[in-house]
Amino acid sequence: MTRNVQRTSKAAVCLLLSLMLAVPVAFGSPTSAHAVTAAEKQAEAEAALASLNAMQEQLDQASADYGQALSEQQEAEDSRDAAQARIDELNGQISEMQEHLGDRARTMYRSGSSSMLDLLLGSTSFQAFATNWDMLAQINESDAEMVQQTKDLRAEVEDEKAVYEEQARVAQEKADEAKRIEEEAASTVASMQATYDSLSAEAAELLEQERAAEEAARAAAAAAAVEAAAREAAAANTNRGGGGGGGAPSYVPSTGNAIVDRAYSQLGKPYVWGATGPNSFDCSGLVGYALTGGYSRVGTTYTFMSWPRVSDPQPGDICTNDHHCGIYIGGGQMIHAPRTGDVVKVGPVHSGMIFVRQP
């Protein structure tokens, strides 16, 4: 009996210990559970950031393609209109020649078919005969030239009609292309919004932290580049025996730098794809306004990439790559319309951008 009680007590103790040891296994420690959740949220934020950045680059590229399509559409429409104007001009010349030839034909008909022969046979001397012959030859030659000119003008009209039809086709093709790009951009913006909406509150907060870290890294890189350029300039100045310090150019309100002033005046306005102002901008729309003061697109990143490059960028120059652009304000900084969900702001020049100046 005693042995049975002892065996039962030992079994109870073992069972109790096993239950105590099983609790952490069954429910997990709060610390480990929190770590897993934080890692998941961080991964969610990083994935969202990568996706949003990729979609924004697509949007920037689409903006350049859209502007290019609209520009080519306008060029085709201008060529089409020029062809129509030339057609109208040629038809006017043809009408004048036809009227003149008609008058000649009516005059010859009223004078009778023998008038030319009478003119020659009625000559009283060889000199008069020769003079009359030359006059008739000139008249016939003039008529023949007008007939040939009329034929040539008609042929030119047909050529211009072909130009008109081709340019009309190109204009419509570019209009359709611009419409397609616009629709695809709208779809991309919707996808970006869906990405934002799908984020948990914790991941959304981490996303902003990730973006802030990106901006800080860009700013640090830009500052390092400016410092390196300043050191090089100072060394070159010292080698030339000159004095004075370097330092990046800075913005002072109302300095007369109209490009920079206009860019600063738009700070805080929202980024909207395809917008050229006055209430919102995309990147090239903002640059267009800063350059001209007008709310129209003066070029795309493709256009800016072909402008004269500068090795000593000054405030008011354009910093650009093949899909994004901004107005340089000095110190490795630019004013730009960065992305969907953001506003016109000051930020570091992106790595790989070149500096160009309006020709």
Catalytic residues: 283, 324, 336
- Tell me how far apart the alpha carbons of residues 307 and 301 are, in angstroms, rounded to a whole number: 10
**Omega of the bond prior to 338 within 30 degrees of 0, cis?**
no
Taking Cα atoms as reference points, which of 62, 350, 326 lies closest to residue 189?
A: 62
Q: What value, to the nearest 5°, has the Cα angle with vertex 58 and ends 186 and 299?
A: 90
86 burial level (CB within 10 Å; 0-12, 13-18, 19+): middle
Kindly give the pairing relationship between strand 325-330 and strand 318-320. Answer: antiparallel
Taking Cα atoms as reference points, which of 192, 332, 353 lies closest to residue 272?
A: 192
- Tell me how far apart the alpha carbons of residues 181 and 71 are, in angstroms, rounded to a whole number: 14
Instruction: Judge contact between 303 and 352, C-beta under 8 A.
Output: no
Give the SS3 label for residue 47: helix
- Tell me how far apart the alpha carbons of residues 289 and 263 are, in angstroms, rounded to a whole number: 8
- Tell me how far apart the alpha carbons of residues 268 and 335 are, in angstroms, rounded to a whole number: 11
- Tell me how far apart the alpha carbons of residues 164 and 91 are, in angstroms, rounded to a whole number: 15
Strand-pairing partners, residue 319, are: 326, 355
